[in-house]
Chain A
Amino acid sequence: MSQPSRTITIEQLNTFIADAGLHSSHLLHILHAIQQRFLHISHEAVNEVASHLGLPISQVESVVEFYSFFYNTPRGRYNILLSNCTSCGYKSGGENLLRMLCHRLRAVAGKTRGDGLVSIDETSCIGMCDHGASLLVNGMPITRLDADKIARIADLVETETPLADWPADWLRVDDNIRVITGDLTAASGKPSRMASSSTSGLLLNNDFVAGGGLHAMLARGIEGTLAEITQSALRGRGGAGFSTGMKWKFCREAQGDAHYVVCNADEGEPGTFKDRVLLHSHADAVFEGMTVCAAVIGAKQGFLYLRGEYRYLLPHLQTVLARRREQGLLGNSILGQQAFNFDIEIVVGAGAYICGEESALIESLEGRRGVPRNRPPFPVTHGYLDQPTVVNNVETFVAAAHIALCGSAWFKSVGTEKSTGSKILSVSGDCAAPGIYEYPFGVSIQQVLNDCGAKSVQAVQIGGPSGALINPAKFNRKLGFEDLPTGGSFMVFGQGRDLLTIIVNFAHFFAHESCGFCTPCRVGTTLLKNSLDKIAGGHGTQYDLDEMKRIGELIKRRSHCGLGQTAANPILDSLQRFPQIFEQRLAHGNFEPYFNLDGALEEARQVTHRDDAAAHLE
């Protein structure tokens, strides 16, 4: 591989784009290749890509500016992105590792160092929440960060040691699948930690042999398989919970030139990492679920949309796809069936939480900014290229593959009436055994807390920042569509945590990830962020709390998509359930302006070299 470089001639650029295009002509992939090779995507590169792909220059430009992992100014040869999630973020261990790394490398966060060696910045949750503080260096995850490892990373960067020569175990990502041992756990109060290779639960326990689901489907017939999926009452595992059988049926019935299957592997909700584990250790079941869906709806093409943060999983997934083609489980005449042709392409995102919204994901698949579409029409009738499309979560496809194999009765043997089957949880935060837990739906929060060894719990965030913040009085609430729906994120906050800091973190997350399409979310998330910063800084008053509540409710009700509709949840929940975390920070009086008059005099003080009492207002 050639050394990354920031200098480019147009000829080099054209040759490079043509080569990259041979590999994959998807706009996101070509832009990624350019970013890797030239460390940024220059204005010239935008023009050349547009002309190469026959796209408007403005479309390419808008995509470069939309996704977090594309840059229009050069990044360092080591581009380091530290997660800012409350579970795998650079502050999650109590120390500020970002500041530490910047200090050691004499770099400023967000800026490329003068010699072009390194750039350091923060990024939204990278899905390593069961591994403690984590970062991405040139796209590769390094987990379990502490002060010592930060120092060693700084040395390796300073000596320009190739990433391949970094300690191999740093790049290891474990599955951390935890076994639940039931009564024993509850009685002893100890976490049930077992070897990561052990499994638990309905889906994770079930030995799935590649092709098993497809053979069962062929034996049962397509109609019969759809009936099994419908009767299983499987609901979408991304959190929204739409009936999978209905979705497939609507799509099957929709008229179109072609039908498409899309697997949503854009697992961006902070605190969620179950799809990472499913893609790593259960990829066959994921692809098999997609293939069953393809047979049901009549699709020949499928896509797995993988979040950019999980790009390191790409070689593994490509290997599994290649093996499945060799096994006759993908490609033409699957399992010898003449008319059963289906294949799967992986499209890798580039850092945008909003692309987890299904219509934004489709926009991204089509090579545009990830802006959610107006609905109706829904993707089942007008999805990818305006054709009927099923978009399901990774876990949903895994469940569907198992239902095709074992039938609906097996699946319904666990769970509750309206939430059949199991839910795979990503447990992180202040507990002894963070990791992957699979439970029948209907499990209580307290049960999960017992099993993961969480003590002195102040609050639990169910479903990530867009979900619900639960106080201890409500730990008897149950996970399921009847009570607390969840995409799987389960973040534990112990008594030692400052909840306000967490709420501030979530507000910054939403303001950063808002796509900017609709006014309430675009402006409102920034207003909420500013208000919280003001309160956390000790300048807030009751007026600011009232305003946050008013704006929060407006954003929730008037926004275009799920992002805006849920962005205020952490603030509204905590205002209701933890009012003291705000009140104890309020300034006296009813009103305090945003404008800090004394702060504005700082420049004058510096110029005059004064810092005595008379140079301050207070």
Chain B
Amino acid sequence: MSAEANMTTTNTVTPNTINIDGQDIPFKNGQTIMDAALAAGVYIPHLCHKPGLTPHGSCKLCTVDIGSRSMSTSASDRRTQTKFSVDIDRRSVSACTTPAVAGQQISNDTPALNEVRKTITQMLFIEGNHLCPACEKTGNCTLQAVAYHLGMLDGHFPQFFPRREVDASHPTVMLDLDRCILCELCVRASREVDGKNVFAIAGRGINAHLIVNSPSGKLVDSDLETGDMAVHICPVGAILIKEHGYEVPIGRRTFDLHQVGEIGLEPVILAKARHTNE
């Protein structure tokens, strides 16, 4: 309690601004750090976040460090309870789920944090089976783009080579779980945008996997349709539209023409994923 009181008195805080890497950024009540950053044109790397969908906070790519003049560390934060060298002055949070609070001093684009993000991206690569040159999504894949952005040159860790299913039962959409990164964008898009409930995550730990909500468990028996947001929102090549391979040539794909860090790229990414005859 006393530490909290001390912190609030040390410095005056501009109302409704947070500070990211030294830059003051305004926010509205109810916005997360990610919302405020994106609105101000500041890129915080992310994969499971998409403006308009309920923030999820699972990929942890948007991890940032917060120090603050008006915040104390929660007593229930177990990181503070062990004696190992953890810098408890700087709390680690997910930018996409943490509310912006006036006075937050946030580190985002630092070499140390980008190194952490690179390691997390490597984890996502090696837990699945990502063979970029053979994937239809290459060049349009946000995972691949983030990896380039972070300077990732290899998977670093030994590959897990999991055995995962392909579901080609649906007439127009196919599911290749080799590439699924469990971001749950399709799960949320189906529920929140399409008004359906086609996807879910089952299992636990390293065996967690995407399942389809249908009596047979197959995509063909679900009410998924080609025009659903859930079909197009996949950041990797786990959900693909059949019979429309390589219509945009390599070299002219989204991330051949754009940086993943460009703000407001979502419509471009979605547009590239849609096909001309839809």
Contacts and interface: CB of A to CB of B under 8 A. Distances in A.
B is a partner of A: yes
Nearest to A512: B205
B201 A522 contact: no
Contacts, number: 150
B31 interface: no
B75 A243 contact: yes
Contacts of B158: 530, 594-595
B195 interface: no
B215 interface: yes
A525 B207 CA distance: 12
Nearest to B214: A57
B169 to A, nearest CB: 15
A523 B217 contact: no
Contacts of B200: 56, 58-59, 61-62
A518 interface: yes
A518 B82 CA distance: 22
B83 interface: yes
Interface stretch (A161-169, A283-291, A338-346, A550-558): A550-558
Interface in A494-518: 511-518
B237 interface: no
Contacts of B205: 511-516, 522, 525-526
B240 interface: no
A569 B78 CA distance: 11
Contact of A520 (B123, B160, B201): B123
B59 interface: yes
Given A241-B75, A569-B82, A518 B215 contact: no
Contact of B206 (A467, A514, A558): A514
B45 interface: no
B30 to A, nearest CB: 12
A537 interface: no
A336 interface: no
B116 interface: yes
B82 A374 contact: no
B105 interface: no
Nearest to A68: B204
A515 B84 CA distance: 24
A66 B200 CA distance: 12
Contacts of A57: 213-215, 217
B202 A66 contact: yes
B67 to A, nearest CB: 14
B215 A522 contact: no
A65 interface: yes
Interface stretch (A136-144, A270-278, A559-567): A559-567
Interface in B100-155: 116, 119-120, 123-124, 126-127
Interface in A583-607: 594-595
B70 interface: no
Interface string B194-232: 000101111111111001111101000000000000000
B157 interface: yes
B277 interface: no
Given A554-B116, A576-B84, A516 B75 contact: no
Interface centre among B56, B204, B211 (most CB of A within 10 A): B204
Interface string A236-247: 100111110000
A519 B120 contact: yes
B202 A557 contact: no
B2 interface: no
A522 B86 contact: no
Nearest to A247: B76
B99 interface: yes
Contacts of B83: 468
Contacts of B120: 519-520, 554, 558
B211 A62 contact: yes
Contacts of A565: 78-79
B81 A240 contact: yes
A47 B214 CA distance: 9
A347 to B, nearest CB: 19
B76 A240 contact: yes
A523 B206 CA distance: 6
A556 B86 contact: yes
B60 interface: yes
Contact of B202 (A58, A240, A524, A573): A58
A526 B206 contact: yes
Contact of B204 (A369, A520, A551): A369
Contacts of A566: 78, 82
A43 interface: yes
- The 10 A-B residue pairs whose C-beta atoms are closest, nearest first, are A516-B208, A58-B213, A58-B200, A523-B123, A62-B202, A65-B202, A240-B76, A514-B205, A594-B158, A562-B78
13 contacts: A57-B215, A58-B197, A58-B202, A62-B200, A65-B202, A240-B75, A352-B204, A515-B205, A516-B207, A517-B208, A554-B116, A557-B79, A569-B82
Given A58-B200, A369-B204, A511-B205, 7 more contacts: A56-B197, A57-B214, A239-B81, A520-B60, A523-B206, A557-B79, A576-B84
